[in-house]
Amino acid sequence: MSGASVAGVTDATAAGLMPATAAGPILAVESANVVLGHGWRRAKVLSDVDLVLWPGEIVGLVGETGSGKTTLARAIVGLAGLASGRVLVDGQQVSGLRGRALRAQRRRGLVQLVFQDPLRSLDPDLKVADIVAEGLRIRGGLDAGAIARRVRQTLSEVGLDASVLDRTPGQISGGQRQRVSIARALATQPRLLICDEPVSALDASTRNHVLRLLDELRDSLGLTILIISHDLSSLAGIADRVAVMYRGQIVEYGPADQVFTAPLHPYTALLMASAPSVRHDQPYSARQLRQNGPHLVPAADGCVFADRCAFAAAACAARPPLEQVADGHDVACHRHEEWPRLARDGAGPDHARPDRPPARSR
């Protein structure tokens, strides 16, 4: 690392922009509720979500379209307002800030979001140098030379050389664009990086390149990273813990290897059984875990997964709390002890007829 780029860091630290390291969680989301829309469109998108991230860990957030993953990411950075609950970053409440306090919080750039599609989230008319510098300019406190040094340093951190500085997003490859997007987020030296589907638009090799980069940045910069992804296998390669969301609730949260190899929630198990793989060694087939009868109308305050669950029982009319049932492994399911046995015994409605089509109408 050159002397010039070190100076850039020191400038930022001297200006009081770098937060002091704390031993507590870097992020705490406490019973967050988000309601979007008005009138008949009004819908509860997040329902009592609790999430804690410790410094230096990579947490994966998985779930289907509309499960609230992106809304949770937006709520953490303040782009979606909370109806109730709160968000704390490094011990300080960041939700519900207004006016001067909100602007000050945003300028600090403690939490940064990397958006899904870099082609659409990066300004097509700006050069890479200006895209990466924009946050630093808004924050203030650095002169042009220090900003230029910081931009070059950030780009080298994400593995790009100076040749991309004068290009626009349309003139670089998809993998490079996503790196620029990450560099833009890293410029203000955040402590928490939230990546919303950072690799879904990339080819397998480029995807692994970017995920490896995030893993390296966690070590070299001491970052905490929340990654939203639907590619479970590649996520498993770098994530320490994984949270599974379903219809606005976290239904399972635990160490990545446990969640992926020994899921406690039937939805996680269905997700794992459905994931395409060149190996066929999943303990259950998707058919065993699907509810193939008529779709029930979910009880308003019941388990969110009950209408799709092959193992739903009377108890599931009440919402199960997210409880710790193994070491550091939380699940929200009344029947987390019974369903694996029921699935193995073929109590899943379709087990006896493996050739039945996947879904049928009535």
Partner 1 sequence: MMTDSPSSLPDYAPRNGFGDDSSDRLLSIENLRVTVHHGAATAVRGASLDVAPGEIVGLVGESGSGKTLTCRAALGVLPPGCAVQSGTIAFAGRDLTRLSRRQWEQVHGAYIGAVFQDPASYLNPNLTVGSQLAEVLRIRRRLNRRAAHARAVELFTAVGLRQPERVFHQIPAELSGGMLQRAMIATAICCDPRLVIADEATTALDVTIQAEVIELLRQLRRERDLAVLFVSHDLAVVSELCDRIAVFYAGEIVETGRTEEIIERPRHPYTQALMRVATVGDYRRRELQVIAGQPPGVGAEITGCRFAARCPDAIAACGAGPVGPVSVGLGHDARCLRVNEVAGNGMAGVTGASAVAGELAVR
Longest dimension (CA), the chain: 71
Q: Which of 49, 110, 129, 232 binds partner 1 (CB under 8 A)?
A: 232
Choose between 39 and 358: whose C-beta lies nearer to partner 1.
Answer: 358
Residue 294 CB, shortest distance to partner 1, in Å, is 8
Residue 58 CB, shortest distance to partner 1, in Å, is 10
For the window 203-222, what string marks contact with partner 1 as x by the rule CB under 8 A?
xxx-xxx-xx--x-------
Residue 362 CB, shortest distance to partner 1, in Å, is 7
Three-class DSSP category at 309: strand
CA distance 114 to 120: 12
Q: Which of 5, 156, 168, 233 binds partner 1 (CB under 8 A)?
A: 233
Nearest to 333 by CA among 276, 249, 261, 256: 249
167 binds partner 1 (CB under 8 A): no
CB atoms within 10 A of CB 261: 12
Contact between 168 and 206 (Cβ < 8 Å): no
Contact between 110 and 191 (Cβ < 8 Å): yes
3 binds partner 1 (CB under 8 A): no
Contact between 242 and 257 (Cβ < 8 Å): no
CA distance 236 to 37: 35
Residue 359 CB, shortest distance to partner 1, in Å, is 4
Residue 233 CB, shortest distance to partner 1, in Å, is 4
Q: Which of 231, 252, 330, 350 binds partner 1 (CB under 8 A)?
A: 231
274 binds partner 1 (CB under 8 A): yes
Contact between 118 and 180 (Cβ < 8 Å): yes
| Residue 233 token pair | 């296998």
Q: Which of 28, 165, 286, 325 binds partner 1 (CB under 8 A)?
A: 286
Choose between 29 and 310: whose C-beta lies nearer to partner 1.
Answer: 310
CB atoms within 10 A of CB 220: 9
Q: Which of 125, 294, 300, 327 binds partner 1 (CB under 8 A)?
A: 294
Contact between 257 and 224 (Cβ < 8 Å): no
Instruction: Name the residues that contact partner 1, by CB under 8 A.
Output: 64-65, 173-174, 203-205, 207-209, 211-212, 215, 230-234, 236-238, 256-257, 260-261, 270-282, 286, 294-295, 357-362
